[in-house]
Amino acid sequence: MSDPGGELHPTVADDALFRPVRAGNAFEDTVARLLQAIRLGIVAPGEALPPERDLAARFAVSRDTVREAIRSLADAGFVVSKRGRYGGTFVCESLPPRGVANAVEEAAPPHEEITAAEIDDVLGLREILETGGARASAARPLAAAERDMLWTRLQETAASPVGDDYRRLDSRLHLTIAELAGSPSLVPLIADNRTRVNDLLDRIPLLEPNIAHSNQQHQAIVIAILTGDAELAESTMREHLDGSAALLRGFLA
């Protein structure tokens, strides 16, 4: 997303998450939007956030609001500021664990109940959004840079060990597919839904056989997109989502 000097190279996903916030809750929404970008991997560990002036313009808030939001994220261990020629605000290499209270996130109650209807709502919306996104991505003629980005995201996810970083890279791969669909409005919808999906996934264990199977399905989805097979991309994405949905319903419903 950015180079060491903090110069922003925007993508559709960047634009979708770094968009104006609600006027009545400027500080809270700025913190939440930055957190979402970090947790979903839009800005990866070690990468720089956009400069304060750019964030203020994108969020349509004051630089003071952005500065306070960044300070809160730094206090919570999400970002660190560096000075010098290549200075800026960088995402920490190691992020605070999910579900553990910190200065900007609340800890999830260990036994908070979630209804079957709530699970169905999250997963149903996910299927509608992501199967359509995969189909649309495969139907578009992709530029060489887009094809390279998608393949890179796939390789990064496949190479990640089972753990919290896998969830981030998995999220970023799915958001990249959404980005390639060619509809900027789709990306924030999938990002918001993915945040809810990750909240559910954090309640169940990461199972190595499932991760291995997911990686195989990811590859099949990506190949279908790169070869322009829209029908196969949609059906393979649906199969992939059905597997995650089965695990979530099995553990939580």
- Token couple for 46: 């070690």
Q: What is the pLDDT of residues 169-184, one digit of tens each?
A: 999 999 999 999 999 8
Count of domains forming the chain: 2
Nearest to 105 by CA among 96, 113, 114, 94: 96
Please, are residues 38 and 78 in contact by the beta-carbon 8 Å criterion? yes
Residue 14: pLDDT band by 50, 70, 90 thresholds? low
Q: Give the range of the structural domain holding residue 185, as residue numbers without chain letter.
A: 116-252
In this structure, the answer to whether residues 36 and 157 fall within a common structural domain is no
Predicted TM-score (pTM) of this structure: 0.79
Residue 30 shares a structural domain with residue 124: no
The reply to whether 18 and 61 lie within a common domain is: yes
Is residue 240 situated within a structural domain? Answer: yes
Whole-number pLDDT of residue 39: 86
Q: Which pLDDT band holds residue 7 (cuts at 50, 70, 90)?
A: very low
Mean pLDDT of 130-151: 97
| Three-class SS of 111-169 | CCCCCHHHHHHHHHHHHHHHHHHHHHHHHCCCCHHHHHHHHHHHHHHHHCCCCHHHHHH
- Give the pLDDT confidence of 166-222 residue by residue, as tens digits: 888 999 999 999 999 999 889 999 999 999 999 899 888 888 888 999 999 999 999
Quick: pLDDT tens for 74-108.
999 999 998 877 788 999 998 887 766 677 777 66
CATH number for the domain spanning 217: value is 1.20.120.530
Helix residue ranges per DSSP H, the chain? 12-17, 26-39, 52-59, 63-75, 116-139, 144-159, 164-179, 186-201, 208-226, 230-252
**Count of CA atoms in the C-beta half-sphere (13 A) of 38:** 32
